[in-house]
Amino acid sequence: MTDEKDELEVYFEGEDHPISTEPEQAPVEETDENTQVETESEPTSENTTSVPEGYAPIAALQDERRKAQQAREEAEMLRKQVPVQEEAPDPYEDIEKYNAWMRKQWEDERNREAEQARRDAMEDERSQMLEKHTDYDLMEQTFMLMTIDDKSLIEKMQRSESPAQFVYEKAKS
């Protein structure tokens, strides 16, 4: 406080200063602080690419949202693919029901495995036919069009020993 008083006394000593009712406007000096404030308020390339500490860039947040949405959709799709299993009967209450349930579980699993093996074999055979016959794609499309008129062709193809060969020969004829 005393330093301020001394400065004021020095200022007013020996000079006549008119007394005014309006406050004087202090001259505006540009200091480093003022300059910094101005540059912080003006967008610069550094400000647009840098993110304050503790915050994440908007693009990263949007990317994470997109990934989370894809994960939710994939999880929902997988849930739909998993068959709902009925609860196993209590073997102590009814052993016959429990044994029938176990047989059904075993048969279902065996059927799923057989179906997958059949699909794999058909895909392998299709790949071989694609390598062997350059026009197999065209014949396959032709066969698909033929099944519109004759639905029994699908059953015949599935029962045939070589479904890809059946498709090719039927479409060629």
What pLDDT does 51 receive? 73
Which string of b and e fits 135-146 if b means at least 16 CB within 10 Å?
ebeebbeebeee
**In the prediction, which pLDDT does 131 show?**
92
Q: Tell me, what's the pLDDT at 86?
A: 76
What pLDDT is attached to residue 100?
Answer: 94
- Nearest 5°: phi and psi at 42? -85, 130
Instruction: List b or e across 74-99, with b for residues whose CB sees 16 or more CB atoms inside 10 angstroms.
Output: eeeeeeeeeeeeeeebeeeeeeeeee
Tokens 């609860």 locate to 87
- 146, 153 Cβ separation under 8 angstroms: yes
DSSP H helices in 42-151: 45-49, 58-81, 95-132, 136-149
At residue 38, the pLDDT reads 43
Q: What angle do CA 21, 24, 29 make, to 5 degrees?
A: 170
Say what the pLDDT of residue 54 is.
78
pLDDT tens series, the chain, 173 aa: 555 555 656 555 555 545 544 555 555 555 555 444 444 444 444 445 677 887 878 888 888 899 999 999 998 888 888 777 778 889 899 999 999 999 999 999 999 999 999 899 989 999 999 999 999 999 999 999 999 998 899 999 988 989 999 999 999 88
